[in-house]
Amino acid sequence: MVDPAPGEGCSGPLAGIVVADFSRVLAGPYATMLLADLGAEVIKVEGPGGDDTRAWVPPARGDVGTYYLAVNRNKRSVVLDLKDANDRALAHELSARADVFIQNFKPGGLARFGLDYEAVHSRNAAVIYCSISGFGAGEGASLPGYDLLVQGMSGLMSLTGDPDGPPYRSGISVFDVMTGMHSVIGILAALHHRDRTGQGQHIETNLLSSALSALVNQTSAYVAGGVVPGRMGNAHLSLFPYEPMATGDGELIVIAGNDGQFRRLCAAIGRPELADDDRFDTVGKRNDNRDQLRPLLLTALAARSAQEWFDILTAAGLPSGPINTVQGGVELAERLGLDPVVTVGPDGVPSVRNPIRFSVTPPDYRYPPPALDQQGEQVRAWLGTAREAADG
């Protein structure tokens, strides 16, 4: 079976949108996968060595890193060596035909190939051009955009870990993912603007700005309150209880987000009088007196196991939950009917479902993550035909 030409045969709310994806590793590829799931035709342009994450192992499925598989479904891969004049001409043609051009080279890195915003805009005035960087295109342009650097330099690591212990990184490249999501939001907004006006534009996102936005109440504590927050382990700056707590067997996340929930919690654990104690009867007092309240809660929770308390608190309408492994998280989603895993392509490559549900235009899982240059011949032919037609 021959695949349709790029831009044909897609379904979903973004059907007909062609994305030239010159990004690699995580932030850009995550963004373009989300667009592809929603029907956009994403052409993944790779250098001769391919996306680095193909070789980031272990873990792997066969000889391909699961990191690469996580963010590259629904794309077509073509290898273009931008140092080669013929390949560069094809890249220019792709930029002229694309609705969206996305890249995460260092700021200015594509100018020598005629693929910077000004050059692409000159041949395609309606293009939505998205540049992703680590620290912006100004004074931070020379800084490499690695998520770990941003976790440290943004302040996140100063908030993560025990108060008396070392700072820790998040278990995922959290700001790469968030920057990818912010890029998608910007692209969708720009496409809507183009639909109304016909005007394309340049979108810029960067990991540091995404990080400071994503730190929400923690950055607000400083910029609005003059407070520099620090590490509190699993505790919350403004709520108590809001953390894992030891039970008679295992730990359970226990949450009382308001006074009503705290009253129900006290009743459920057999200590209703705590809700009327003038040390604990408001959110602010519970925060101020958490060192007095914590041992009282722990003594009560020691009477039963984490599973027993989970059943009791859930029945009382209170938020609580176990601390699962990733396997446990996937299995929980399966039990809840969220169908977290989809299989893509004839070989049934497992992939995590797009989290957005639509009543009319659901995400589509057309292609598994492509092998390097898997659709190269097809994409080159499509671009070459377009060039010939334009020349004619």
Catalytic residues: 176
Query: Is residue 129 a contact partner of residue 185, using CB atoms and an 8 Å limit?
Result: no
The span from the CA of 308 to the CA of 358, in Å, is: 36
**What is d(CA 137, CA 206) in angstroms, rounded to the nearest whole number?**
9
SS3 of residue 255 by DSSP: strand
* C-beta separation of 119 from 109 below 8 A: no
What residue has token string 């016909």? 198
Cis geometry, peptide bond prior to residue 241 (ω within 30 degrees of 0): yes
46-54 long-range CB contacts below 8 Å, 24 or more apart?
Answer: 46/77, 46/78, 46/79, 46/80, 46/372, 46/373, 47/79, 47/80, 47/81, 47/82, 48/79, 48/81, 50/79, 50/372, 51/24, 51/25, 52/24, 52/25, 53/24, 53/25, 53/26, 53/29, 54/372
Q: Say if residues 300 and 269 touch (Cβ distance below 8 Å).
A: yes
Buried b (16+ CB within 10 A) or exposed e, 152-167: ebbbbbebbbeeeeeb
At residue 286's C-alpha, the angle toward residues 283 and 291, to 5°, is 155
Among 172, 104, 103, 108, CA closest to 137? 108
